[in-house]
């Protein structure tokens, strides 16, 4: 199996700028995701505290109804009041926390789309860079078109709009899906990003 060459000794300045843009977008997305996680953790913490407070309230109210003495009654009533305050605090937080979570999730989605756009721009810039380099190494267009004409006259065929692709396939040779996928996953490393082999 041929090894994918990921060495990239030189990057034009515009590609480097696109790469920096992607990295900045990644940082912003990470920060947005962390904000979402923090709010979700706060919501879970508040819900747990409310659940505990409601259990304490029920227990304190039950004990206060049949106290052993005045001191027990006062202690249980005080515990019930404390539990009620905790429940009220959790209820007051519920709406604002939900609002914060919705906003944070919306911002995270925006950052994700921005990152995807930045990655596409980076790959497009790198493709254009490689296209120009490859074009200087290819035979003259007239030579390619001459070969194409002979291929077509010789019985080469394909559905409308796919003749050129079919010609190139026959010229270069078919590429197995596995090879194409290997280079797809290697592309991020070619432009200085982390691999996406797990995507």
**Mean pLDDT over residues 179-193, rounded?**
91
> What percent of the chain is modeled with pLDDT above 90?
74
Provide the whole-model pTM. 0.75
CA angle at 145 for the pair 143 and 150, rounded to the nearest 5°: 100
Confidence of residue 194 (pLDDT cuts 50, 70, 90): confident
So what's the pLDDT on residue 49?
Answer: 96
Residues 48, 55 contacting (CB under 8 angstroms): no
- Structure tokens, 97: 């926390």
Name the nearest CA neighbour of 187 among 109, 107, 125: 125
Domains of the chain: 13-137 (1.10.287.620), 140-199 (no CATH)
So what's the pLDDT on residue 5?
Answer: 47
pLDDT tens-digit map of 2-25? 444 444 444 678 889 999 999 999
């Amino acid at each position: 199996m041929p090894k994918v060459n990921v060495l990239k000794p030189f990057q034009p300045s515009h590609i480097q700028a696109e790469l920096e843009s992607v990295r900045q977008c990644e940082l912003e997305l990470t920060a947005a995701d962390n904000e979402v996680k923090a709010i979700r953790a706060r919501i879970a913490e508040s819900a747990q505290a409310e659940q505990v407070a409601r259990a304490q309230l029920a227990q304190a109210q039950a004990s206060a109804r049949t106290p052993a003495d005045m001191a027990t009654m006062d202690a249980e009533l005080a515990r019930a009041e404390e539990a009620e305050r905790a429940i009220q605090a959790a209820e007051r937080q519920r709406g604002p926390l939900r609002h914060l979570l919705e906003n944070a999730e919306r911002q995270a989605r925006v950052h994700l789309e921005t990152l995807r756009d930045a990655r596409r721009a980076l790959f497009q810039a790198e493709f254009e860079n490689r296209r120009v380099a490859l074009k200087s190494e290819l035979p003259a267009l007239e030579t390619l078109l001459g070969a194409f004409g002979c291929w077509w006259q010789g019985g080469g065929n394909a559905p409308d709009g796919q003749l050129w692709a079919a010609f190139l396939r026959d010229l270069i040779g078919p590429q197995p899906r596995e090879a194409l996928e290997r280079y797809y996953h290697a592309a991020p490393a070619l432009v200085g990003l982390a691999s996406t082999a797990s995507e």
